[in-house]
Amino acid sequence: MLKNLNDVIHQCRESFDNLNHRSDIHIDLVLASLLKNALAEVEPRSSFEIQPFSILLINENGLRTDLPSSLLWYGATFWELDEALCEYQQKIKELREFLKNKEHSSVSIKEFLNKLPSEELNNTSEIANDTKLFLRAMEPSDAILFERFLTDRDWWFQPLKKTDQMNGKTLDRGDVFQSSFDLAARVIVANSSRLLTIVKAFTASGDLRRYFETLSKEPVKYLDEDTSSIIHLAPTKPAKIGCNYIYYGAPGTGKSHQLNELTEGDRKIVTVFHPDTQNSDFIGSLKPTNVSGAVTYAFRPGPFTTALLEALKNPEQNVYLVIEEINRAPAAAVFGELFQLLDRENGASKYEIDFTDPDMQAYINEQLKAAGLGYLPKLSIPANLSLLATMNSSDQAVMPLDTAFKRRWSFRYIKLDFDNPAVSLQRLRIMTSQGAYDITWKNFANKVINHQLKEMKVPEDRLIGPFFLNSTELSNSETSHEAISGKLFVYLWDDVLRHKGRNIIFDKSIGTFGELHEQFIGGKKSVFSEIVESLIISNGNTVDDSTGVAEGDE
């Protein structure tokens, strides 16, 4: 029997939204076997390699796609929608055959389906009348639902809001069911084709669904991290025991500041990754140099080689290689063969590797010889050299860290801490439709902007940190307004609200960022939505425009 698609979509969305977490799932041997069998049934021409935290799909042309294990959550919660859509897809095939038997041409059937879903079924054309005959031959309950499917697009092709409708998708399009599923699951259509492969595996295999329900699905812990990794931790020194740590959190939470405090007084080398960073930049390479007027080539060390030499020359001291924005470059490619050295035992590399660059080896050993130290035959990381990095996963320019790379790091989450005494006390004058209000940066960022973003279920790593604007930018009312418009609003407008809807924060009458900037800097008219205005009013004080003084400040 056909199901009410409207109800199924909302039930699946509710199940997904009520999950305790949606992180990577460890794929054990039983789950791997069930997955492989189900996926082979769904895509018999492709092959699959199941890894502990990912699924590698290789299609018939040898093209490869890595699917994170977190997609299994969609399979567990949306398989019923896929099953229901398949039933309707089968009915469309049966309708095509019925119309062919009624001697309608393939062209006329295609043209008819090209107008559906719509009210086209209500006209008096011969093909519409034959479609009504098909409906009358069905079970009454199925006929009602199938007619709704053919005529009411909004009932089953459900975007998050009206403006997101994909009006070009009609029933003659082969991808209409994929698009309907993508919208129901609320995923980016361009990147979602393989998600349905995972969901269909759950649709195809009851054994897979039943085993998945019994499986322990606690969030994955990196290395030896316990649950303290998800709360704010004060910096602690590793006491000459090397480690690999990535500090991550929302923009402006003070990640770089934490690393600066942690490494204060110790030897450190700081570098910043960017999209063009390469392995040769990180390790070093031959570069031209001027020696007594003649151009020659010499090995120029990169930050890793420099940090390694610092550690080797000073074995009794802590040395840190600090990598800012580690995920703004393809990190695994930048590390290259050094990837193997990240596994540690008692602080030092568990494994050694051969030098692949003889110029690097020659440079290191020349430096060690000049310092009166021994020869380094193989490459490894000593126990007194720690690698510390920062990461902001909300940045649009970031690149994903693959599972094998992440496994070799410990992760420390930096929470939003607006009670930090270093947070600016600058007061802002914000215009609302009820007049001007005086509100602190702390309340504006946390109790207004972040509060509304959290209400709209924006992920925490996209919220505003207490140091998103620095003390210089918040030093006075003029610079703070420029920084809010030119930095905070740009981030909200272009990054956070691009797909969520900008009227979550801003007035719906504002159509462009230029209008937003001009209206806010002008200070004569509110730029915020009614909900945000109410939060400003409840967390601020009115300003007497004749004196410029906030109520209660006299």
- pLDDT of amino acid 433: 87
* The pLDDT value given to residue 233: 28
Positive/negative CA dihedral, 354, 356, 359, 364: negative
Q: Assess contact for 226 and 219: CB atoms under 8 A.
A: no
The answer to whether the CB of 302 falls within 8 A of the CB of 270 is no
For 184-206, write each residue's pLDDT tens digit. 888 764 455 688 888 999 899 98
C-alpha 399/C-alpha 393 separation (Å) is: 9
Q: Is 17 helix (H, G, I), strand (E, B) or coil?
A: helix
| 3-state SS, residue 103 | coil
Residue 271: pLDDT band (50, 70, 90) is very high
Task: Give the pLDDT confidence score for residue 554 in this predicted structure.
Answer: 40
Q: Domain ranges for the chain, please list them.
A: 5-214, 227-413, 427-550
CA 373 – CA 358 distance, rounded (Å): 19
Residue 290 has pLDDT above 70, yes or no: yes
- Which ranges of 186-318 would DSSP assign to H, the alpha helix? 193-204, 206-214, 255-262, 279-283, 303-313
Q: How confident is the model at residue 463 (pLDDT cuts 50, 70, 90)?
A: confident
**What are the tens digits of pLDDT across the range 120-143?**
888 889 999 999 999 999 999 999
Q: Work out the pLDDT band at 476, boundaries 50, 70, 90.
A: confident
pLDDT class of 471 with cuts at 50, 70, 90: confident
222 pLDDT more than 50: no
Whole-angstrom distance, CA of residue 255 vs CA of residue 122? 62
pLDDT digits (tens, 9 = 90+) for 77-126: 999 999 999 999 999 999 999 999 999 999 999 999 988 888 888 888 99
Contact present, 298 and 315 (Cβ < 8 Å):
no
Q: How far is CA 289 from CA 297, 300, 403, in A?
A: 6, 9, 40
CATH topology of domain 227-413: Rossmann fold (3.40.50)
Beta pairing class for 267-272 and 47-50? unpaired
In this prediction, residue 175 carries a pLDDT of 75
The phi, psi pair for 248, rounded to 5°, reads -135, 160
How does pLDDT run across 324-383, given as a tens digit for each residue? 999 888 888 999 999 899 999 888 898 899 988 889 999 998 998 888 887 888 899 998
Residue 75 has pLDDT above 50, yes or no: yes
For the entire predicted model, the pTM comes to: 0.52
List Cα–Cα distances, 145 to 6, 139, 169, in angstroms.
10, 10, 20
pLDDT, tens digit (0-9, with 9 covering 90-100), for 488-533 = 888 888 888 877 788 889 988 988 989 888 888 888 889 899 998 8
Per-residue model confidence (pLDDT) at position 231: 26
Q: How large a percentage of the chain has pLDDT more than 90?
A: 31
Q: Mean pLDDT highest for which of 169-183, 192-206, 386-400, 539-553?
A: 192-206
Prior bond to 117 cis, omega within 30?
yes
Cα separation, 122 vs 129, in Å, equals 9
Q: How many residues does the chain have?
A: 554
At residue 232, the pLDDT reads 31
Rounded to 5°, angle at Cα 155 from 151 and 159 = 120
In Å, what is the CA distance from 300 to each residue of 277, 286, 294, 365, 379?
15, 6, 17, 14, 18
The DSSP symbol for 506 reads: B
User: H-type helices in 102-217, by residue range?
Assistant: 106-113, 126-136, 140-151, 153-156, 176-185, 193-204, 206-214
Helix (H, G, I), strand (E, B), or coil: what is residue 43? coil
Place of tokens 């299609």: 59
The chain-wide mean pLDDT, for the chain, equals 84
The least confident of 25-29, 133-137, 394-398, 415-419 is: 394-398
Return the pLDDT at 550. 53
Predicted pLDDT of residue 192: 59
Side-chain-side CA neighbours of residue 488 (13 Å)? 27
pLDDT for residue 160:
58
